[in-house]
């Protein structure tokens, strides 16, 4: 049983690294192309989009490296495992998004008031459109992998891909408008600011769950209700109370008080507790450990 679980975790980690590595290669290529097209084609919006893709590359590297650590089993120094490393990586991805957005806004305003605006070349519009299609496809694939592996960091990285795809849309619109309307070339800079706002929104969505986890916010009421229902439906369990559940990465740690008949033996009560624990862990709720306090009635 232990060997099987260990093999499953190893395969999951390998799959996460494979999906993220593909994303890394795509991001490197997109970043290079967008930087080249943005600079050569005089598009501040596309350069901003390239910076966003560069932050994707950094987050991909963080997940590839981090997955080697958060998948390690519990040890003497980390009795609850290493899943919080995944949370730290998730927050790092969000922080990279915020820094990228602030840099883009600063650069856009500096260039917006910097004098003459050069109209972007047509090739910049084509690159922006290609970026939308590629990043949306990468988002869907990465999100599916994150949900399959129950990895918050991978899902966060998928949203990073989606934010890159969404940010390329206003970049594309502003570039096309600047090309079609020569006197409105400043719209390209304005597009860069809109890109940054999309990035900030994505950062908020990514970081909020991780911050809640770090301060041990309880699992939501519906999950706690399902855990209690599984426990109370176990034969000979009279009541469940003081149920608590907290997240570590994408996994749950649960502790609860279980009331049983006071006339049964300690051994029998222990067996009931073992049954409850196994039923909760074997559910679809991603619970990795359950601590049960036995009470008699």
Q: Which pLDDT value is given to residue 11?
A: 66
What is the pLDDT, as a whole number, of residue 46?
Answer: 80
- pLDDT score, position 79: 66
Rounded to the nearest angstrom, the gap between the alpha carbon of residue 279 and the centroid of all alpha carbons in its chain is: 28
Report the percentage of the chain scoring pLDDT > 90.
Answer: 0
Rounded mean pLDDT of the chain? 78
The CA-based diameter of the chain, rounded to the nearest angstrom, is: 88
- For range 130-135, the mean pLDDT: 88
**Residue bearing the bigger pLDDT, 270 or 117:** 270
Domain count, the chain: 2
pLDDT in tens, 258-280: 988 888 888 888 898 888 888 88
- In the listed set 214, 235, 254, which residue is the last one of a domain according to the structure? 214
Write out the two tokens for 156: 């966060």
Q: How sure is the predictor about 113, in pLDDT bands with cuts at 50, 70 and 90? A: low
Q: Are the C-beta atoms of residues 164 and 131 closer than 8 Å to each other?
A: yes
Residue 253 sits in the same domain as residue 201 = no
Which of 79-88, 98-107, 142-151 comes out lowest in average pLDDT?
A: 79-88
Of the three residues 159, 185, 214, the one that is the final residue of a domain is 214
Please compute the mean of the pLDDT values over residues 48-63 and round it to a whole number. Answer: 72
How much is the pLDDT for 2? 40
Indicate if 210 and 228 belong to the same structural domain.
no
Full residue range of the structural domain in which residue 169 is found:
2-214
Q: What is the CATH number of the domain that holds 79?
A: 1.20.1510.10
| Whether 128 and 240 share a structural domain | no
Give yes or no: residues 130 and 228 share one domain: no
Average pLDDT (135-139) is 88
Residues 270 and 189 reside in one and the same domain: no
In terms of pLDDT, which residue wins out, 102 or 178? 102
Q: What is the DSSP secondary-structure string of the chain? A: -HHHHHHHHHHHHHHHHHHHHHHHHHHHHHHHHHHHHHHHTT-HHHHHHHHHHHHHHHHHHHHHHHHHHHTSPP-SS-TT-STHHHHHHHHHHHHHHHHHHHHHHHHHHHHHTSSPPPPPPHHHHHHHHHHHHHHHHHHHHHHHHHHHHT-HHHHHHHHHHHHHHHHHHHHHHHHHHHHH-GGGTTHHHHHHHHHHHHHHHHHHHHHHHHHHHHTTPBPPHHHHHHHHHHHHTSTT--EEEEEEEEEETTEEEEEEEEEE-TTS-HHHHHHHHHHHHHHHHTSSS-EEEEEEEEEE-
| Residue 143 and residue 230 share a domain | no
Q: Which of 73-87, 116-130, 231-245 has the highest mean pLDDT?
A: 231-245
Q: Which of 214, 244, 266 is the last residue of a domain?
A: 214
50 plus 182 within the same structural domain: yes
| CB neighbourhood size of 293 (10 A) | 12
Question: Phi/psi zone of residue 260: left (φ > 0), alpha (ψ -120 to 50 degrees), beta?
Answer: beta
Are 256 and 125 in the same domain?
no
Q: 156 and 269 in one domain?
A: no
What is the pLDDT confidence band of residue 3, given thresholds at 50, 70 and 90? very low
Q: Is the pLDDT of residue 141 over 50?
A: yes
Radius of gyration, alpha carbons of the chain? 25
Q: What is the pLDDT of residues 232-248, one digit of tens each?
A: 888 888 888 888 888 77
* pLDDT tens readout for residues 188-247: 677 778 778 877 887 887 788 778 777 777 777 888 888 888 888 888 888 888 888 887
d(CA 18, CA 16): 5
Please check the confidence at residue 6 and state whether its pLDDT lies above 60: no
Question: Which CATH number covers residue 247?
Answer: 3.30.70.1350
Check if the beta carbon of residue 223 is closer than 8 Å to that of residue 245. yes
In terms of pLDDT, which residue wins out, 80 or 114? 80
Question: Is there a single domain that holds both residue 54 and residue 185?
Answer: yes
> Based on the domain organization, do 99 and 236 belong to the same domain?
no
Same domain, 229 and 208: no
pLDDT beyond 60 at 37? yes
């Amino acid at each position: 049983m232990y060997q099987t679980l260990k093999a499953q975790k190893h395969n999951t980690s390998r799959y996460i690294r494979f999906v993220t590595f593909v994303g890394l290669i795509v991001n490197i290529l997109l970043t290079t192309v967008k930087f080249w097209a943005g600079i050569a084609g005089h598009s501040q919006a596309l350069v901003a989009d390239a910076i966003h893709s560069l932050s994707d590359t950094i987050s991909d590297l963080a997940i590839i490296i981090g997955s080697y650590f958060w998948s390690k089993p519990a040890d003497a120094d980390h009795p609850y495992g290493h899943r919080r490393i995944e949370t730290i990586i998730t927050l790092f991805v969000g922080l990279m998004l915020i820094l990228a957005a602030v840099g883009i806004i600063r650069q856009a305003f500096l260039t917006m008031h910097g004098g003459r605006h050069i109209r972007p070349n047509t090739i910049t519009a084509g690159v922006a459109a290609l970026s939308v299609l590629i990043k949306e496809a990468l988002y869907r694939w990465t999100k599916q992998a994150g949900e399959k592996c129950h990895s918050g960091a991978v899902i966060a990285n998928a949203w990073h891909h989606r934010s890159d795809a969404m940010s390329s849309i206003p970049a594309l619109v502003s570039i096309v408008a600047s090309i079609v309307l020569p006197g409105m070339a400043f719209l390209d800079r304005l597009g860069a600011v809109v890109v940054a706002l999309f990035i900030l929104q994505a950062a908020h969505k990514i970081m909020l769950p991780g911050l809640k986890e770090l301060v041990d916010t309880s699992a939501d009421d519906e999950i706690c209700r399902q855990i209690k229902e599984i426990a109370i439906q176990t034969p000979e369990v009279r009541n469940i109370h003081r149920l608590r559940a907290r997240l570590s990465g994408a996994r749950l740690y649960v502790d609860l008080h279980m009331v049983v008949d006071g006339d049964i033996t300690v051994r029998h009560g222990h067996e009931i507790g073992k049954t409850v624990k196994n039923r909760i862990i074997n559910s679809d709720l991603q619970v990795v450990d359950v601590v049960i306090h036995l009470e008699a009635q």
